[in-house]
């Protein structure tokens, strides 16, 4: 869900609750809740992180010893580069297709065809109502027989990724087009004699770069390491990092946990970039931090 | 308006790639799935759809999925609402940002990583399992991560933060002035919550719960990583029928997927209706 892109808005609307009657009772309850919540969110990560660097660990609370061997072995595994490479290729291709597909449409519903918005919104948010496994089955069903046979190809995987990324791109682009007052910019540009194409390329695009980047990063973090679609659509024929991570669990669980940590690291970095980098304006405006 | 006019044909051409894409990869495939679930247009039969509800194994998978989704969304909603309220109300302003950050980060968690992460702490050789054993508690005797209850614990990992993120705007909309207005009209704190607080929050809470329900009904990767095919869930059943290591029944898989789609799509629709109600306050 595109919640990360909503987070800055959440930050911006937070009124510091300077409660008039400072009541001590609930405050302690709040802190207890925070500790439990933070623990619950962090302990699984600590567990998988420790496992990825543990020598032996099966009957002690903490590992007996620590090693970087699993990390080195994972990175040197003959399947590491091909599977991670495929995942990166698929994610980048997804981003490229999504941006090209969505940007003109979003621009137009802001400046020229607001009446098309409900339709575009419906089609873009529809994937939320499609469980991933259902999407996988329906695409296989459709594209494994003529006229169009795509089943088993990375092309279909990428197109499936584009579908799952639609809601993220929609929200990200919509937020940034709203923020820059696209209608006024478009009219100003027209008054100065710029063509539509020039307006989109020279005026609008530079102004919504951060929106596109935020959408692209979100799409990357939901597609990289993805398992369901790749296991159904391409499987072992075009093994992605997600499929590989699951396949090695039974024999080489330490490598699996290294891969899981890599996945977590990527999504943390992306979230940090979005939260810190892109919400700066919003937080400055509300005078926070 | 601008001096620029957009011809109908120009607009249509500009929208065409997007519309064709959605037609080809959202609408037609969904339609093909529905057709597949009745075995094709020509030799159509409701045998497979019927079997979803009459076959004992399939019935069980629906019940298990519903049990998992209802319980985890209810718990996730209650806990997430409580923590969301605490985040809004706390006097420790510096904690607010990091907690919101942690919630929005974890709300997107899920997939295979989450399954494996939980095995390392709650599996038979997991960190917490062993820690409890040292205190003489045999976790495995009453709890297994490879069960519906275990899955509830795992799903809460994304349900709780998702609920927090969904509830924060609703809590922000609950103005301090309203508490004062209610008090100056002679209302007690209970009156405030009963007449103002709860009615304002209710649409958001219901919408959030429904969305959590949908997300847990449709979850597959986490369950697959965690339990393989050891628990009979709808998504797991679909995968077994489609992959056909034991039994390959594509039409039956499509029928099961159609039923799942109907449940999830209706939930998401209900979410949007409730969300619209909620926005009366959050966008005020």
Nearest CA in chain B to A48: B117
Alpha helices, DSSP H, located in A130-288: 132-143, 154-179, 182-191, 196-198, 205-207, 209-223, 228-233, 241-247, 253-272, 280-285
Long-range contacts, stretch A92-97, CB < 8 angstroms, 24+ apart: A92/A220, A93/A158, A94/A158, A94/A161, A94/A162, A94/A165, A94/A219, A94/A223, A95/A165, A95/A216, A95/A219, A95/A220, A97/A158, A97/A159, A97/A162
At A279, is the pLDDT very low, low, confident or very high (cuts 50, 70, 90)? low
Tens-digit pLDDT profile for residues B65-79: 999 999 999 999 999
Tens-digit pLDDT profile for residues A74-91: 999 999 999 999 999 999
- pLDDT at residue number A153: 92
Tens-digit pLDDT profile for residues A60-74: 778 888 888 899 999
Nearest CA in chain B to A123: B22
- Tell me whether residues B32 and A3 touch, CB distance under 8 A: no
Which CATH code for domain A68-285? Answer: 1.10.3720.10
Mean pLDDT of B134-140: 86
- pLDDT at residue number A284: 35
Which single residue is written with the structure tokens 């969110």? A41
From chain A residues 190-209, the ones with a CB under 8 A of any chain B CB are 190-191, 196
Q: Is A242 left (phi over 0), alpha (psi -120 to 50) or beta?
A: alpha
Chain B residues lying within 8 Å of A159, measured CB to CB = 21, 25
Mutate which of A125, A131, A135 to test chain B, going by most B C-beta atoms within 10 A?
A131
At B279, is the pLDDT very low, low, confident or very high (cuts 50, 70, 90)? confident
Tens-digit pLDDT profile for residues A125-136: 999 899 999 999
Mean pLDDT of A265-272: 86
pLDDT at A20 over 60: no
- Is A185 an interface residue toward B (CB < 8 Å)? no
Tens-digit pLDDT profile for residues B96-125: 989 998 898 888 777 899 999 999 999 888
- pLDDT at residue number B4: 61
From chain A residues 49-88, the ones with a CB under 8 A of any chain B CB are 50-51, 57-62
- Tell me whether residues B125 and A134 touch, CB distance under 8 A: no
| In chain B, where the domains are located | 48-282
Tens-digit pLDDT profile for residues B25-47: 999 999 999 998 888 777 788 88
pLDDT at A6 over 60: no
pLDDT at A34 over 50: yes
Q: Which CATH superfamily is domain B48-282 in?
A: MetI-like (1.10.3720.10)
pLDDT at A17 over 70: no
- pLDDT at residue number A25: 63
At B200, is the pLDDT very low, low, confident or very high (cuts 50, 70, 90)? confident
Asked whether the whole model's pTM tops 0.95, one would answer: no
- pLDDT at residue number B162: 94
Nearest CA in chain B to A102: B18
When the pLDDT of each residue in chain A is averaged and rounded to a whole number, the result is 84
ipTM, two decimals, is 0.90
């Amino acid at each position: 869900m595109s919640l990360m892109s909503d987070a800055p808005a959440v930050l911006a609307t937070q009124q510091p609750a300077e409660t008039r009657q400072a009541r001590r009772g609930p405050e302690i309850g709040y802190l207890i809740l925070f500790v439990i919540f933070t623990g619950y969110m962090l302990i699984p990560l600590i567990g998988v992180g420790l496992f990825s660097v543990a020598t032996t660990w099966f009957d002690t609370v903490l590992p007996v010893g620590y090693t970087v061997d699993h990390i080195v072995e994972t990175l040197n595994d003959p399947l590491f580069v091909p599977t991670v490479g495929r995942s990166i290729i698929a994610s980048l291709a997804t981003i490229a297709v999504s941006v090209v597909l969505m940007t003109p449409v979003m621009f137009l519903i802001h400046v020229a065809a607001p009446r098309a918005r409900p339709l575009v919104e419906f089609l873009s948010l529809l994937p939320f109502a499609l469980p991933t496994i259902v999407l996988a089955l329906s695409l296989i069903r459709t594209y494994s027989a003529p006229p169009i046979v795509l089943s088993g190809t990375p092309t279909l995987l990428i197109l499936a990724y584009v579908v799952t990324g639609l809601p993220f791109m929609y929200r990200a682009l919509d937020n940034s087009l709203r923020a820059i007052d696209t209608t006024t910019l478009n009219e100003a540009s027209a008054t100065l004699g710029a063509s539509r194409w020039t307006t989109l390329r020279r005026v609008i695009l530079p102004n919504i770069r951060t929106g596109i980047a935020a959408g692209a990063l979100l799409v990357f973090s939901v597609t990289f390491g993805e398992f369901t679609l790749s296991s159904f659509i391409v499987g072992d024929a075009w093994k992605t990092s997600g499929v590989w991570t699951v396949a090695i669990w039974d024999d080489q669980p330490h490598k699996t946990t290294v891969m899981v940590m890599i996945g977590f690291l990527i999504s943390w970095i992306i979230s940090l970039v979005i939260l810190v980098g892109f919400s700066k304006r919003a937080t400055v405006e509300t005078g926070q931090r | 308006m601008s001096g620029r006019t957009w011809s109908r044909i120009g607009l249509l051409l500009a929208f065409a790639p997007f519309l064709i894409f959605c037609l080809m990869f959202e609408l037609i495939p969904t339609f093909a799935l529905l057709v597949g679930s009745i075995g094709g247009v020509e030799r159509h039969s409701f045998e497979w759809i019927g079997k979803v509800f009459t076959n004992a194994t399939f019935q069980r998978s629906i019940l298990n999925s519903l049990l998992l989704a209802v319980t985890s969304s209810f718990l996730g909603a209650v806990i997430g609402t409580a923590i969301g309220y605490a985040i809004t109300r706390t006097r420790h302003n510096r904690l607010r940002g990091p907690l919101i950050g942690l919630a929005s980060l974890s709300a997107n968690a899920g997939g295979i990583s989450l399954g494996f992460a939980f095995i390392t702490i709650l599996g038979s050789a997991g960190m917490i399992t062993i820690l409890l054993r040292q205190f003489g508690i045999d976790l495995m005797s009453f709890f297994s991560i490879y069960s519906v209850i275990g899955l509830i614990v795992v799903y809460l990992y994304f349900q709780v933060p998702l609920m927090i993120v969904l509830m924060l705007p609703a809590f922000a909309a609950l103005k301090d002035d309203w508490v004062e207005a209610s008090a100056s009209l002679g209302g007690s704190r209970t009156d405030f919550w009963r007449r103002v607080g709860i009615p304002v929050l209710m649409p958001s809470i219901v919408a959030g719960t429904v969305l959590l329900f949908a997300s847990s009904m449709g979850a597959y990767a986490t369950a697959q990583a965690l339990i393989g095919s050891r628990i009979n869930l709808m998504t797991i059943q679909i995968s077994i029928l489609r992959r056909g290591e034991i039994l390959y029944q594509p039409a039956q898989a499509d029928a099961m997927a159609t039923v799942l789609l109907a449940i999830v799509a209706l939930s998401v629709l209900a979410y949007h209706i409730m969300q619209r109600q909620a926005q009366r306050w959050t966008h005020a």
